[in-house]
Structure 1
Amino acid sequence: MNDDLLTDRLRLTRAVPSDLDEVFAIQSDPRVWTHYPSLRHTDPAQTVEMMERWGRSWTEAGLGSWVARLRDTGAVVGNGGCTLLGGEVWNIGYRISAEHHGRGLATELARAGVARAREIAPERPVIAYLVEHNSASARVAEKLGLELVHRAPDAGNPDPSVIRLVYADRPLTSAQLGAALQ
């Protein structure tokens, strides 16, 4: 199976080292981290680590995050896909550049990730792991048909008032929920 994928508007490809600058530009933009500013990348080394995690997911699970480019221009507009957490669940995640928010690209990217995860290992649940005040991500999870299965304080968050939500495509076992909350 080819790792790359075309959607209506996006070309999704595995990250390569030459993608670093464009991915870092998105990951370091405070406008895309308004819901969790402490996770914003401030050093390209953080983005390199993230891209290496994607690569490990591709190697270990046959799926990971892609770099998302507009099909018509080739411009990098984000990243995302499904990565395996704890060997138990597919975690759908994405980050779209601030200039492209509100155009449905996150949903398009997320749908592609979920479809591929279900091709590779349909027995694994698909989850979305997000903070409660990120209502845009909650809407994407709901568009994917995921339902809220967990709501609790976000352990380890520098802001103790933040609530963590887990959406899933089915009920989760305690081991699956534990993998989601690692």
Structure 2
Amino acid sequence: MTADILTPRLRLSLPTAADLDTLFAISTDPRVWTHYPTLRHIDPEETASMMARWERSRESEGLGPWSVRARDTDELIGYGGCTLLGGEVWNLGYRLSADHHGRGYATELAFAALEQARLADPDRPVIAYLVEHNRASARVAEKVGLALVHRTPDAGNPDPSVWRLVYADRPLTEAQLAAASL
């Protein structure tokens, strides 16, 4: 994918080095990580490494997360899309600036990501991997047609009371579920 994808209010484009500072600012904002604060970036190298993983996904699978801009202002407001987990499932993920939460952008982005994942490889399931107390992300998954298929303690989470949910667009095999739990 080289051309931008346009939704009614968003422009999804390939991330560039010029996006790093803004994506780092989003990734380091504690308001963006209220549901999993230990994943908050503290060094720009974490964000640069994440962007390099996206590029490898695009090169190997033809799909990876995008930089997300508001079409009316061209402001970079986040990132998101689908990446392949364990060679088995497309993982739908996103992170938006806290100043842009609650406007339906995540749902708009999720619909576009689902469409692109199905174009890239319709035989691979699309999943959303989230923590149970993140009800906003669960609502987005449900709005785009994903259903809860698995619930388990969140291995490795510093809070042992946190549960991990897997939403999917179809039933998952054991191998797909294992890949979704990476």
TM-score range, shorter chain: over 0.9
In the alignment, structure 1 segments of 5+ residues that lack a partner are: none
Q: Following superposition of structure 1 onto structure 2, how do residues 1-182 of structure 1 map, counting pairs within 5 Å?
A: 1-182=1-182
How far, CA to CA, are the matches of 1:162 and 1:74 in structure 2? 36
The structural deviation recorded for 1:2 is 3.6
How far, CA to CA, are the matches of 2:53 and 2:143 in structure 1? 27
The structural deviation recorded for 1:76 is 0.6
Deviations 1:143-178 (A, max 9, x none): 011000000100011111100000000000010011
Deviations 1:57-82 (A, max 9, x none): 10111000000001111101110001
How far, CA to CA, are the matches of 1:134 and 1:54 in structure 2? 24
**SS of the residue 2:127 aligns to:** strand
Deviations 1:75-121 (A, max 9, x none): 01110001111110000000010000000000001110000000110
Q: Is the 8 A contact 1:128 1:141 kept in 2?
A: yes
Report how many aligned residue pairs link the two structures. 182
How far, CA to CA, are the matches of 1:26 and 1:2 in structure 2? 24
Q: Is the 8 A contact 1:151 1:164 kept in 2?
A: yes
How far, CA to CA, are the matches of 1:95 and 1:107 in structure 2? 12
Q: Is the 8 A contact 1:3 1:63 kept in 2?
A: no
Q: TM-score by structure 2 length? A: 0.98
Q: TM-score by structure 1 length? A: 0.98
Identity of aligned residues (%): 69
Q: Is the 8 A contact 1:80 1:109 kept in 2?
A: yes
RMSD between aligned residues: 0.8
How far, CA to CA, are the matches of 1:28 and 1:177 in structure 2? 30
Deviating above 4 A after TM superposition, structure 1's stretches of 4 or more consecutive aligned residues are: none
